[in-house]
């Protein structure tokens, strides 16, 4: 029954990972106070400073159902969310599209990266519009940033939480995010055991297409 519970979680994850993207290109509001600008610059530096990263993640939906796995990131434009054993799902980007592979029902769904916010997360050099604002937080060692594009409500809203860490790129470590999609479905993703600068082969961003009897990698 675990896989049946996980399928909607996987679909929510794909949406959550897509809307998370604009944070990589965050800029301060039009007339920010100095502290706001400084912290938002820190968020930008934290995400742009990652060349490769691997982290364990736990994903929770609004009903409290949880699944875990491993996230692998490699710039430019490659990311992989591999779920724990027994969950027949994979979310992966090979640089052209974000793909959700469901091995339980032998389905593959894709979303284009080129014109989506995901491109901003994976390729910080893209010239895209940015939307981000700081959410008040009493703890100076925690930074909370809300990201939304009012012109594209289908991307939903995502709130990213960073904690100050001198060992992380830019001095801030992304520890979790909460994504709310256009249907008000909430997904929380928590990261732990972040490892930066790890060796990651491009083959990590391939997958076996369940629709092909030959099981060739895409």
How large a percentage of the chain has pLDDT more than 70?
A: 69
User: Residue 195: what pLDDT?
Assistant: 95
Which of 38, 12, 14, 11 has its CA nearest to residue 27? Answer: 38
User: Residue 155: what pLDDT?
Assistant: 66
| Separation between Cα atoms, residue 189 and residue 57, nearest integer Å | 7
User: Residue 113: what pLDDT?
Assistant: 63
* Domains of the chain, first to last: 2-205 (2.50.20.10)
| Separation between Cα atoms, residue 2 and residue 150, nearest integer Å | 36
43 pLDDT band (50/70/90 cuts)?
confident
Q: Quick one: DSSP state of residue 169?
A: G
Are 47 and 121 in contact by the 8 Å Cβ rule? The answer is yes
Are 186 and 180 in contact by the 8 Å Cβ rule? The answer is yes
Q: Which two tokens stand for residue 72?
A: 């692998």
User: Residue 198: what pLDDT?
Assistant: 95
65 pLDDT band (50/70/90 cuts)?
confident
| Separation between Cα atoms, residue 190 and residue 184, nearest integer Å | 19
């Amino acid at each position: 029954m675990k896989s049946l519970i996980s399928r909607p979680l996987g679909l929510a994850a794909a949406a959550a990972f897509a809307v998370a993207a604009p944070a990589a290109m965050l800029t301060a509001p039009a007339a920010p106070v100095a502290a706001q600008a400084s912290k938002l610059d820190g968020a930008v530096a934290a995400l742009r400073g990652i060349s490769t990263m691997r982290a364990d993640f736990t994903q929770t939906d609004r009903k409290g159902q949880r699944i875990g796995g491993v996230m692998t990131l490699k710039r430019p434009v490659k990311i992989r969310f591999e779920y724990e054993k027994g969950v027949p799902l994979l979310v992966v980007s090979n640089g052209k599209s974000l793909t959700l592979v469901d091995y339980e029902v032998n389905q593959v769904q894709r979303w284009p990266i080129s014109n989506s916010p995901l491109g901003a997360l994976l390729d910080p050099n893209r010239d895209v519009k940015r939307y981000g604002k700081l959410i008040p937080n009493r703890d100076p060692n925690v930074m909370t940033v809300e990201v939304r594009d009012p012109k594209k409500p289908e991307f939903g809203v995502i709130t990213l939480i960073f904690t100050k860490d001198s060992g992380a790129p830019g001095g801030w470590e992304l520890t979790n995010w909460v994504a709310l999609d256009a249907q008000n479905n909430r997904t929380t993703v928590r990261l732990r055991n972040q490892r930066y600068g790890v060796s990651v082969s491009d083959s990590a961003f391939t997958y076996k297409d369940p629709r092909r009897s030959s099981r060739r990698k895409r």
